[in-house]
Amino acid sequence: METPLVQRSSDVLGGTPVFAGTRVPVQTLLDYLEGGERLDDFLENFPTVTRDQAVAFLEQAASAYLNDVA
């Protein structure tokens, strides 16, 4: 079984989607990038999120967006 990238639990930040195994909301990554910050800046400030997790999440988000637009 593949490990999920994102988890939601009412016990963790009231059900806010977070990177699996962390308490870091995925929205935080999006906010960083939208604000002009680099992925490396996000990873430096949130070391519990791996580069692989962040990149995989962004790839999934891009794919979902492209499927919605098509």
- What's the chain look like in SS3? CCCCCEECECCEHHHCCEECCCCCEHHHHHHHHHCCCCHHHHHHHCCCCCHHHHHHHHHHHHHHHHHHHC
Q: Which amino acid is at 50?
A: T
pLDDT at residue 58, rounded to an integer? 94
Q: Is residue 39 part of a domain?
A: yes
The burial of 19, by beta-carbon neighbours within 10 Å (0-12 exposed, 13-18 middle, 19 or more buried), is given as buried
Q: Global pTM?
A: 0.85
CATH number at residue 40: 1.10.10.10
Judge whether 26 and 19 are in contact, CB under 8 Å.
Answer: yes
- The number of distinct structural domains making up the chain is 1
Each residue's pLDDT tens digit, 2-55? 678 888 888 887 889 999 999 999 999 999 999 999 999 999 999 999 999 999
